[in-house]
Amino acid sequence: MSGAEPGYGSGRAARGLDSAVVAGHPASALAGIAALEAGGNAIDACLAMAACDWAAMPDMCGPGGDLFALWREPDGAVRAVNGAGPAPAAYAHPKSDDDRAGYCLIPGAPAAFARLARDAGRLGLEAALARGEALAARGVTVSPRLDRHLQALREGPLRQALAEAHGGRLPRADERFVVPGLAESLARWRHGDLDGEFARACEAWGAAGAKVGAREAADYAAQDEAPLALAFGAWTAYGQPPMSQACATLAALGIAGADTVRENDDAHRAHMLIEAYKRAYGDLAELADGNGPRARAEASLSGAALRAKRETIDHRAAMGAPMARNYGETTQVAAVDREGRVATLIHSLYRPFGGRLLAPNGWLSNDRGASFTTGANAPAPGRRPRHTLVGILMHHPEEGSWAFGTPGAQAQTQTTLQIAVGVMRDPARPEAAVAAPRWNFIGGDQLAVEARVAPAILDTLAARGHKLALRPPSDWLMGSIGLVGARGRTRVAVADHRRDALALAY
């Protein structure tokens, strides 16, 4: 079965009458469709795609990283699972950024994956892992992105291990690539030995300087929490709860207000959204584990707080909080099933190949501890850092349900904001929202903008005091949205053209 078969839609936008999926790798998207055709629901599809991502995109994600999911059930219940692992008991924040091993936190992905398979899917854990296991054994062709990340690896144990697994040299673009040991590991996990996989991974990582203990890793339980919610006219927007920064997307939407969404002056609408985002982003400094993060996130979404911030916006660009640029890598999948369940799942190691520690079972360590900062978000054992991974979901009684996310580090909250507004403005054409040129606040009065932005809009933003940095017409730093929707009987998936991605529907 392929997207070219009769009755199937595929590519950047796909529509069908049954189900739809989107993923950052074609093999993952096909696994999602296969799960749905086997009787699975949107969660089963997301899990099958995520497991394939571990084999196809090991620079982006893996069982050694984190995993978040957000979905809406057909009865209207919206649920979220947070697999954001904390710092281990022996954690000591590295003094040098070169100490990638020292940034390793407890992996949250396995617990979140297993919880979703048990509590939200239909097909079970074995089915969720089976396609990923098969892909890990068969291997994938090296994409241009994976080729760049492989060749950028410094001399060291990871580069050496990958070269040895491929005949003494790193494979190049269009050659076969496998993560050594991963297929066997997924097979053992599928047969019930997850604790053994933690032990194998943590022993190898520990020998290289990571501080995660096998027992504390195996004992970690992913958080099942109520999502954040923002009523917005007839729409309700939902976001992943902390430690995700999704509250910034919702807060910026609320600060901008419904009039901004309806505004037909493109330049004025962009200015309002940018200024609203600056104010929402500023509140993130106090969003931290151990600092009442959920209460703070919910307070930032109160009507009074949103109105007060909206009243500070005028026609001139304000100075926003400084932003530390980080270009962590991640990937995201999404699915909608025949019952209308919509789901988005996002997972990551943080930076390319995470901590660059490859255990014999194919598990790469994460380096998520590098997202600790200072102040409220300072590192400490048992604490989770403020997380860049974001899931957004929206529902309208007539325009349907939509779920989406994107890679892009700090751009995630900004890109999802622009997509939310675009879908609200024209829910019949969600692909237009994904294709539209984007902006990205980068601190102070600085704004990165794609070169496709209309000259009149650029002129107006510059005249209002925004300092513009022109980026390529379709800039990978602006993210790669994966979006699905259930609108009436139609099932929709949209894949962003800015990076490799595939949408399939039937």
What mean pLDDT comes out for the span 120-128? 98
- In this predicted structure, the answer to whether residue 6 has a pLDDT above a threshold of 50 is no
Give the rounded distance of the alpha carbon of 348 from its chain centre: 7
pLDDT digits (tens, 9 = 90+) for 271-311: 999 999 999 999 999 999 999 999 999 999 999 999 999 99
CA dist 357 and 165 (Å) reads 15
Given a cut of 90, is residue 324 above it in pLDDT? no
CA distance 69 to 346: 7
Q: How high does pLDDT run on average in the chain?
A: 95
Q: What is the pLDDT of residue 328?
A: 63
In this structure, are residues 88 and 379 in contact, taking their beta carbons and an 8 Å threshold?
no
What is the per-residue pLDDT across 166-217, written as a single tens digit (0 to 9) for each?
A: 999 999 999 999 999 999 999 999 999 999 999 999 999 999 999 999 999 9
What's the whole-model pTM score? Answer: 0.96
Q: Which of 282, 291, 296 is closest to 380 using CA atoms?
A: 291
pLDDT, tens digit, 9 for 90 and up, residues 221-271: 998 899 999 999 999 999 999 999 999 999 999 999 999 999 999 999 999
Confidence of residue 11 (pLDDT cuts 50, 70, 90): low
Q: What is the DSSP letter of 362?
A: S
Using left for φ > 0, alpha for ψ between -120 and 50, and beta otherwise, residue 434 falls in alpha
> pLDDT exceeding 90 applies to what percent of the chain?
95
What is the predicted pLDDT for the residue at 409? 87
Cα–Cα dist 17/490, whole Å: 5
Q: pLDDT of 271-281, one tens digit each?
A: 999 999 999 99
